[in-house]
Amino acid sequence: MKYELPKLPYAYDALEPFIDAKTMEIHYTKHHQAYVNNLNAALEEHPELAEEPLTNLLKAIETVPESIRTAVRNHGGGHANHSFFWTIMGPPVSKAGSKTAIEGPEGKIGEAITKSFGNFGKFKTEFSKAATGTFGSGWAWLVRDANGKLSIMTTPNQDSPLSKGFEPILTLDVWEHAYYLKYQNKRPDYIDAWWNVVNWKEVEKHL
Ligand code: MN
């Protein structure tokens, strides 16, 4: 079994103007594809592991044979993280922005965030701060632990929260390749814009 790029659930330009079409295209067809290719190449050395769901490999990363452990952590993580990231975004309500970027989502996910962080504004500030402060390349996450408790964390490189015992609920890629074409060095502007394209209906499924 070989890993493949998952189908992108929207067009490259669907997240405009917050995430530009060129960035989406390169991010998906070049960066994500490279993680898939490199993961497949690593697993050729251990074909028995290719039958195991990727999430299981990441959860038990310390048991993956040492010769390919770093490759699975980096490229398996890269594949899993990007596959997840695409699904929790979607077209903004309008080019001027989404109401939920300011007021937060309604429903179960909105209630869970309020319960865990006080209100949406506090959650947004804390998550954005974590994303802004991630040194170098990495990801910001809203995760839940085995007891269902929500928290914000960051991971370096392509590390997955699964390897630390957390299930992802929401994530933001803060590698420069995710924003440099449009935002250059202004990572905080990218983060501010990104809130307009969060697909809360999808996020809620991970609660
Ligand atoms: Mn990326």
Residue 143's pLDDT band (cuts 50, 70, 90): very high
Look at residues 143, 152, 140, 142 and name the one whose alpha carbon lies nearest to residue 179. Answer: 140
Residue 192 forms part of a structural domain: yes
What CATH number does residue 60 fall under?
A: 1.10.287.990
Residues 133 and 198 in one domain: yes
Would you tell me how many other CB atoms lie within 10 Å of the CB of residue 127? 22
Last residue of a domain, one of 87, 115, 142: 87
1 pLDDT more than 80: no
Please give the C-alpha separations between residue 30 and each of 36, 97, 139, 186, in angstroms, as whole numbers: 10, 28, 18, 22
Residue 198 forms part of a structural domain: yes
**Distance from residue 99's CA to the centre of ligand 1 (Å):** 26
What CATH number does residue 201 fall under?
A: 3.55.40.20
Last residue of a domain, one of 87, 110, 126: 87
Residue 8 forms part of a structural domain: no
User: Which of the 8 DSSP states describes residue 159?
Assistant: -
Return the pLDDT at 50.
85
Cβ neighbors of 53 (< 8 A, separation 6 or more) are none
| pLDDT tens per residue across span 148-205 | 999 999 999 999 999 999 999 999 999 999 999 999 999 999 999 999 999 999 999 9
Residues 40 and 107 in one domain: no
| pLDDT tens per residue across span 78-123 | 999 999 999 999 999 999 999 999 999 999 999 999 999 999 999 9
Residues 59 and 123 in one domain: no
Residue 122 forms part of a structural domain: yes
Residues 48 and 112 in one domain: no
Residues 74 and 124 in one domain: no
Cβ atoms 166, 141 nearer than 8 A: yes
SS3 of the chain: helix, strand, coil, percent, to 5: 55, 10, 35
What is the arithmetic mean of pLDDT over 11-39?
98
What is the rounded distance in angstroms from the CA atom of residue 129 to the CA atom of residue 19? 20
Residues 103 and 76 in one domain: no
Cβ atoms 66, 26 nearer than 8 A: no
Residue 7 forms part of a structural domain: no
**Distance from residue 82's CA to the centre of ligand 1 (Å):** 6
**Distance from residue 32's CA to the centre of ligand 1 (Å):** 7
**Distance from residue 178's CA to the centre of ligand 1 (Å):** 5
Cβ atoms 80, 160 nearer than 8 A: yes
What is the arithmetic mean of pLDDT over 13-32?
98
Residues 103 and 83 in one domain: no
What is the rounded distance in angstroms from the CA atom of residue 158 to the CA atom of residue 173? 9
**Distance from residue 160's CA to the centre of ligand 1 (Å):** 13
**Distance from residue 128's CA to the centre of ligand 1 (Å):** 17
Quick check: helix, strand or coil at residue 85?
helix
Residues 128 and 160 in one domain: yes
The number of domains in the chain is 2
Cβ neighbors of 45 (< 8 A, separation 6 or more) are 65, 67, 68
134 pLDDT more than 90: yes
Residues 125 and 187 in one domain: yes
Q: 143 is written with which tokens?
A: 């995760």
Please report where in the chains the tokens 């990801």 appear, as a residue: 139
162 is in which domain, residue-wise?
99-205
**Distance from residue 180's CA to the centre of ligand 1 (Å):** 11
Residues 136 and 54 in one domain: no
Residue 75's pLDDT band (cuts 50, 70, 90): very high
